[in-house]
Amino acid sequence: MSVGAVDITYRGIFQKNLAGVITKELVKAARHEDKIGGTVQRYGDSPERNGIPAKQFSVIADDADSLRVEMTKYEPSNVVVVAVMDDTLTKGVESWAWYGVRPINLNLAPGGTLLVISRRSAEELLELIPRREYAWNLAILPGEPSFGGLWVYNDDGTDYRTMGAVSRVAGDLVSLDSLLAQAASGQDGELRAEQLREGHDSVRAYPVDAGVGAEDTYEPVEMPGWTQMREGLVIPAVPVGETNPLFKKYTTRTARPLVKFDACVKCQICYTVCPDECFIPTPEGHWDIRYESCCGCGICAQSCPVTGCIEMVDEAVFDSNEPLHGVYENNREEYEELRQDKLAKAGGPIPHYGIF
Amino acid sequence: MAAPELTVPDLEINRRITILPLQEYYTSGHRTCQGCESALVMRYMAKVAGPRTLVTGTTGCMYVANTSYNSTPWSLPWAHTQLGSSGSSAIGTSAALKALMRKGKIPDERINVIAFCSDGGGGDMGLATLSAAMQDTRYNLLILLYDNESYANTDIQASGMTPWGAVTAFTPSGKRQRITHHRWKKNVPALLMAGHPTGRYFANTSSGFGMDLMEKVRTALDMDGPTFVQTHDPCPKGWDYDPRMSHELAVMAVECGITVLWDCLEGELRYQGISRQQVEGKLRRRPVADYLRRQGRFAHFADEDIDFFQSRIDEMWEDWILPGVLRVNQTPFGPGGSRG
Ligand SMILES: Cc1ncc(C[n+]2csc(CCOP(=O)(O)OP(=O)(O)O)c2C)c(N)n1
Ligand code: SF4
Ligand code: SF4
Ligand code: SF4
Ligand SMILES: [Mg+2]
């Protein structure tokens, strides 16, 4: 009696419909192999918020009893594929119900596959993904993250390409043939078949040995239980000048604002419009950014009156959440070099990523 | 803990902002969406209210996203109250403070009481309690309605304040019926103002106009008696747009004349900023298409839907005695202008 799950880790709301299509279609395809399955949206992520990491699962079993047992669990136990819909999520996810940031491959079964949609190389990704005590596989499906909205779906084929890739790395769970049969029974069958094959053929897998990958600096995550709650559900207020110690929000972001302090006219607009209270005044009149709190919405970059002063830069090229004005104060040239270096690594600033 | 001393650069360009405290009483670490303007409204509201403030909030995003899983971004004392009950909660809190002060149990001092709600919990479900709060002149309170134009927390259902035609979980656009939300948005601040002559202060503002918003919240808190402030807050999740556009959309709604910046202090109606210039005929309104075409919730709109939307906005500016506020036509007593 066997049961396995595919975990779709994605950006809340932006990729909610995408994850929904993938999880449901995988389960329907598995029926063509006389398997039985179900989908789960992790309750702890609900209601989803834009950008905040979230998960949906397809659970596929040989028989109904195994499925039932698995579906009663908070999260499925045998996750054979974790499909990551945006590669900045590989820096770790801070989701709703837990305190702390979880490694992206925390629940991946030994020998399982972490499938990432990315333009980066395996080496680059393994600088971000922590090592495990067991061997696993890293699979890369070349592509950009596909972002849509709650109402307007970004129908760019990422859904079927991802399913095709899943069938390549976990053919025992659901095969390409079953996916093709399922697609043929729906709308746009030929287009879907093409996308499935493209995903299946273009994915590249790399075995990762135990102990290979980034250093695991993650603290254990904690899920608070009722025993920790005070009478009357009283929560201590945040002391003035501090921030909520139990939730940081930075794993929400796909890009971060990088300031060219030399261009800043000290107008304070960025500080005024930031919904996440990130800006810290400096004696010079510049506004430093507390990256730990920044969710990467981009409102500051959009509102700054000086063109090119605040730019949104791919989160994957940064390795620290420390504010950066200190570097600037120490040495302006050095700061400018750092800024240029990050922009070059990221391939320039990100102008806009929604459909609307 | 004493608030940290922070220097504020004093610059001409935004001088009015420099007089504001840098301290945040609603701070980082809330689970709101990227670019949530309602979170920004909470921040502005807490900032101008200052530390001697009690806040209650009804169920909704500003409860669930802020204070989940045993953690909080509030530095002010904050309590959750039932969906629909912001009016009762404000009256109760204010009455309790008054009683404690009368009995000498706490020092007699000014403590701000703010109860917030959104369009669903305030404009629909809680309207009766808002009405009760606006009638009772014995209590000092502010009701702040953050209008994100849907029941947002439960994944975007239509409310009485959702704009005409918008897609929500309850009002999808289909092949047979393009438009399924047929109700024109209700105007809650005007409705409360018109029906409650005892209310001291009513205001409509927008998250895109931080100074206007903070001035209105401050004005409300400085009054004795019941006060009401509504803010128009773009919600990137429910309105479906790139979060970086949040602030611009709020501003655009005012430029198009969809949101009107006004207040009414003891019966005196005033318009502010862009809205004032529009009323005085000094500034043309921007076409509503600019605003509608930038949001996924209106992606299904045909040109005729945009034209209809525009015509309703035009009417409220051109035919009403109080443009954008109250629908009393220029000729209130019918043709001829008198009842006879
Ligand atoms: C009496 C009651 N009915 C329904 C709910 C479920 N519920 C929780 S939040 C919410 C949406 C509230 O919408 P709104 O007041 O507009 O606040 P928003 O989510 O937009 O911030 C609903 C319906 C509830 N908590 N209580
Ligand atoms: S991107 Fe800018 S506005 Fe948005 S949270 Fe970060 S610092 Fe604040
Ligand atoms: S908005 Fe731009 S110019 Fe203004 S203070 Fe911020 S960084 Fe400087
Ligand atoms: S759904 Fe809208 S109001 Fe709620 S947290 Fe997200 S942006 Fe804010
Ligand atoms: Mg609402």
Question: What was the pLDDT predicted at B1?
Answer: 39
Q: Does A276 share its domain with A189?
A: no
Q: What is the phi/psi pair of residue B337, to 5°? A: 80, 5
The answer to the question of residue A203 being in a domain is: yes
Mean of the per-residue pLDDT values of chain B: 92
Clarify whether residues A192 and A277 are in a common domain: no
| CATH architecture assignment, domain B21-318 | 3-Layer(aba) Sandwich (3.40)
Q: Are residues A164 and A282 in the same domain?
A: no
- A202 lies in the same domain as A283: no
Nearest chain A residue (CA) to B245 = A299
Ligand 3 atom 7 nearest Cα:
A264
| Ligand 2 atom nearest to CA at A301 | 2
Task: Give the pLDDT band (50/70/90) at residue B235.
Answer: very high
Q: Please check whether residues A192 and A284 belong to one and the same domain.
A: no
Tokens matching residue B65: 């996203």
Res. B15: pLDDT tops 70? no
Q: Kindly state the DSSP code that residue B147 receives in the 8-state scheme.
A: E
Query: Tell me, what's the pLDDT at B9?
Result: 37
Is residue A148 located within the same domain as residue A293? no
CB B73 within 8 A of CB B57: no
Domain that holds residue A107: 3-208
Question: Inter-chain contact A353–B242, Cβ cutoff 8 Å?
Answer: yes
Q: What is the pLDDT of residue A337?
A: 98
- For residue B69, what pLDDT is reported? 83
**B127 touches ligand 1 (CB under 6 Å):** no
Of A235, A292, A312, the CB nearest to B72: A235
Domain closes at, from A208, A238, A263: A208
A179 and A279 in a single domain? The answer is: no
Residues A275 and A177 in one domain: no
Adjacent-strand bridge partners of A40: A57
Considering only alpha carbons, which residue of chain A is nearest residue B60? Answer: A47
Nearest-ligand number for the alpha carbon of B154: 1
Q: Does residue A224 lie in a domain region? A: no
Give bridge partners of residue B329 from the DSSP assignment: B320
How high is the pLDDT of residue A351?
Answer: 78
Instruction: Name the phi and psi angles at A90, rounded to 5.
Output: -70, -10
Could you tell me which residues are beta bridge partners of residue B230?
B145, B204
User: B162: Cβ below 6 Å to ligand 1?
Assistant: no
What digits encode the pLDDT tens for the residues B100-149?
999 999 999 999 999 999 999 999 999 999 999 999 999 999 999 999 99
Q: What is the pLDDT of residue A1?
A: 52
The Cα B137–Cα B91 span in angstroms is: 10
d(CA A104, CA A108): 9
> What is residue A315's three-state secondary structure?
helix
Ligand 3 in contact with A269 (CB < 6 A)? Answer: yes
Do residue A247 and residue B37 have CB atoms under 8 angstroms apart? Answer: no
Residue of B7 and A134 predicted with greater confidence: A134
Q: What integer is the mean pLDDT of B183-199?
A: 97
Between the alpha carbon of residue A80 and those of residues A56, A174, B123, the distances in Å are: 14, 11, 48
Best CA proximity match to A309, nearest among A263, A256, A257, A278: A263
Which residue puts its alpha carbon closest to atom 5 of ligand 2?
A294
Q: Do B72 and A272 touch (CB under 8 A)?
A: no
CATH code, A300: 3.30.70.20
Domain co-membership, A261 together with A202: no
Mutate to test the pocket of ligand 2, among A294, A311, A324, A353 (most ligand atoms within 8 A of CB): A294
Distant-in-sequence, close-in-space partners of B75: CB < 8 Å, separation ≥ 6? A237, A238, A239, A240, B24, B25, B26, B27, B46, B51
A297 touches chain B (CB under 8 A): yes
Task: Inform me whether the pLDDT recorded for B276 exceeds 60.
Answer: yes
Residue A219 belongs to a domain? no
For chain B, the domains span 21-318
How far, in Å, CA of B155 to CA of B172, rounded?
Answer: 13
Q: How far is B172 from chain A (nearest CA, A)?
A: 9
Decide whether any atom of ligand 4 lies within 6 Å of the B64 Cβ: no
pTM of the model: 0.95
Predicted confidence at residue B70, as pLDDT, reads 86
Instruction: Return the CATH number at A155.
Output: 3.40.920.10
| Among the listed residues B30, B40, B3, B72, the one whose alpha carbon sits nearest the alpha carbon of residue A241 | B3
Tokens 């259902």, residue located? B157
What pLDDT does A74 receive?
82
* Residue B74 to residue A283, Cβ atoms within 8 A: no
Give Cβ neighbours of residue B123 (< 8 Å, ≥ 6 apart): B117, B145, B147, B159, B160, B161, B186, B188
**ipTM (interface predicted TM):** 0.95
Q: How many domains does the structure of chain A reveal?
A: 2
**Disruptive mutation site among B70, B75, B156 for chain A (greatest number of A CBs within 10 Å):** B70
Q: Give the HSE-up count for residue B3: Cα atoms under 13 Å, Cβ half-sphere.
A: 11
- Cβ(B258)–Cβ(B205) under 8 Å? no
Work out the percent of chain B whose per-residue pLDDT is above 70: 91
User: By CA distance, what is A257's nearest residue in B?
Assistant: B244
Tokens 């290979």 correspond to what residue? A212
- Note whether residue A237 is domain-resident: no
Is residue A82 located within the same domain as residue A169? yes
Residues A44, A161, single domain; the answer is yes
Give the H/E segment covering residue B310: helix B303-318
One DSSP character per residue, B57-78 reads EESSHHHHTTS-TT---BSS-E
**Both structure tokens of A51:** 């950008």
List chain A residues with CB under 8 Å of B33: 12-13, 49-52
Report the C-alpha gap between A71 and A43 in whole angstroms: 13
Q: Tell me whether B137 touches chain A (CB under 8 Å).
A: no
* Contact status of B235 with chain A (Cβ, < 8 Å): no
* Number of neighbouring beta carbons within 10 Å of residue A250: 22
- pLDDT class of B336 with cuts at 50, 70, 90: low
Instruction: Check pLDDT > 80 for residue B335.
Output: no
- A155 and A254 share a domain? no
Question: Which whole number is the average pLDDT over B250-270?
Answer: 97
Mutate to test the interface with A, among B47, B242, B290, B297 (most CBs of A within 10 A): B242
Chain A CB within 8 Å of residue B35 CB: yes
Write down the pLDDT at residue A352: 66
CB atoms near residue B306 (< 10 Å): 17
In a domain, A337, yes or no: yes
Give the pLDDT band (50/70/90) at residue B329. Answer: confident
* Cα torsion A245, A251, A252, A254: sign: positive
Bond before B4 cis per omega within 30 degrees? no
Would an 8 Å CB–CB cutoff place A13 in contact with chain B? yes
Find, among A4, A11, A314, the residue nearest to A158 by Cα: A11
Burial class (CB in 10 A: 0-12, 13-18, 19+), A224: middle
Name the strand (E) or helix (H) holding A196: helix A189-202
**Minimal Cα–Cα distance from A49 to chain B, Å?**
5
> Does the residue A225 lie in any domain?
no
Burial call B256-275: b when 16+ CB within 10 Å, e when fewer: bbbbbbbbbbeeeeebbebb
Q: Provide the residue-wise pLDDT of chain A in tens; the chain has 356 residues.
A: 589 999 999 999 999 999 999 999 999 999 999 999 999 998 778 899 999 999 999 999 999 999 999 998 888 999 999 999 999 999 999 876 778 999 999 999 999 999 999 999 999 999 999 999 999 999 999 999 999 999 999 999 999 999 999 999 999 999 999 999 999 999 999 999 999 999 999 999 999 999 999 999 999 888 878 888 888 889 999 999 999 999 999 999 999 999 999 999 999 999 999 999 999 999 999 999 999 999 999 999 999 999 999 999 999 999 999 999 999 999 999 999 999 999 999 999 987 655 55
Sheet with A79-84: list strands edge to edge.
Answer: A36-41, A53-61, A3-11, A79-84, A108-118, A136-142, A204-208
CA max distance for chain A: 68
Confidence (pLDDT) at A227 = 85
- The answer to the question of residue A300 being in a domain is yes
CB distance A274 to ligand 3 below 6 Å: no
Give, for ligand 2, the residue of A278, A293, A310 to mutate: max count of ligand atoms closer than 8 Å to Cβ. A278
